[in-house]
Structure 1
Amino acid sequence: MKRSIQNIVIDAIAFVGFILLTTTGMLMHYILPAGSRRFKTICGMDRHEWGNIHFWISVFFLCCLAVHLFLHWRWVANIFIGKSHERSGLRVALVIIGFIGVLVFAISPLLSPVNETNVERQGCDLCLSQDHKKIQVRGAMTFTEVAEESEVSVEYIIEKLGLPEDVDKKEHLGKLRKEYGFEIEDVRRIICEYKTKHP
């Protein structure tokens, strides 16, 4: 295949990847936002499934860019290095330092430590008085068990979560969370808010 045709094919594929990357990103940000309390799907897929597609499109797009740079490597090298003269070494050093800086900046979030907050303890400390026992809310519990533990009605919790009234109250929260898109912390927060308003 001629170099010009290769360039056209790679550029066209990369452009399609960029468009898909943009549209899936906008879809997750505006149409299927994080923390949505209502169950939303597009084409039968929820936000997490679209997030997987978004990730693999980004990997594909990165590969296309890598191939594009490989095919134009000689041109890129000429732009940054230029003709050999007294300052060629300085220019090459600046290019290398700049590339390393961008690389470190890009991967630093991946290497940063993950901080986990004890949400359950924090939530109880914020809104439960000393007269209340600490309330346990876990994914293995059902709405019925949470209601018994917290002394907050099932109907109130379900209403505040924005779930349908006929939701299975004896199903584990972990499974319902995936199905309806709420978080366990949402349940804790609703209970804490109720306890604050009804001490």
Structure 2
Amino acid sequence: MKKNDWKYLLDTLLFVDLCSVAAIGLLLAFVIPSGRVPDTSKFFMGLHRHEWGDIHLVLAFLLLGLLVLHVWLNWTWVVNSTKGYFGERWKKVLWTLAGAWLIVLFLAWMVVKL
């Protein structure tokens, strides 16, 4: 397969996975009741709320893996676009973005831990 064929396949999988994560998230948020309700009402299409949550989590991890592959396959475009916008400072900009993202993840982790 050519590189563009891989990109098309990957982007299709990303789209399907993202739509699935969103649909199950909406299902968990608005359709399947949570909290103190009879356990029998926490089923949808034969699966319990916790099983839907497990599927949601697995699909979310799959989405992260597919996103990493997507960036890896498009890395040349990322570098060339960054060079076009920022010139010789392109490496510094990409490192700054990566560092800022790590700070955001760390802060989110701290908020959850409190």
**Superposition TM-score, scaled by structure 1 size:** 0.50
Consecutive unaligned residues of structure 1, counting only runs of 5 or more, are 116-199
Q: How does 1:39-58 map to 2 (within 5 A)?
A: 39=39, 40-58=42-60
Distance 2:106 2:56 in 1: 18
Larger deviation, residues 62-71 vs 93-102: 93-102
Given the superposition, is the C-alpha separation of residues 36 and 77 from structure 1 closer, same or farther in structure 2, using an over 3 Å criterion?
A: farther
The answer as to whether partners of 1:82 and 1:88 remain within 8 angstroms in 2 is no
User: Which residue is 1:34 aligned to?
Assistant: 34
Q: What secondary structure does 1:54 align onto?
A: helix
Distance 2:112 2:53 in 1: 22
User: Which residue is 2:23 aligned to?
Assistant: 23
Shift of 1:93: 1.7
Distance 2:32 2:106 in 1: 27
User: Which residue is 1:71 aligned to?
Assistant: 73
User: Which residue is 1:156 aligned to?
Assistant: none
Distance 1:60 1:113 in 2: 22
Given the superposition, is the C-alpha separation of residues 113 and 15 from structure 1 closer, same or farther in structure 2, using an over 3 Å criterion?
A: closer
Q: What secondary structure does 2:45 align onto?
A: coil
RMSD: 2.3
Distance 2:105 2:30 in 1: 25
Which stretches of structure 1, 4 residues or more, deviate above 3 A after TM superposition?
Answer: 111-115
2:12 is equivalent to residue 12 of structure 1:
yes
Distance 2:20 2:77 in 1: 28
Which protein shows a greater Rg? 1
Q: What secondary structure does 2:34 align onto?
A: coil
User: Which residue is 2:104 aligned to?
Assistant: 105
Distance 1:113 1:20 in 2: 25
Consecutive unaligned residues of structure 2, counting only runs of 5 or more, are none
2:95 is equivalent to residue 96 of structure 1:
yes
The answer as to whether partners of 1:41 and 1:47 remain within 8 angstroms in 2 is yes
Q: Share of identical aligned residues, percent?
A: 25
Q: What secondary structure does 1:12 align onto?
A: helix
Q: What secondary structure does 2:18 align onto?
A: helix
Q: How does 1:1-199 map to 2 (within 5 A)?
A: 1-39=1-39, 40-82=42-84, 88-89=88-89, 91-112=90-111, 114-115=113-114
Larger deviation, residues 9-18 vs 46-55: 46-55
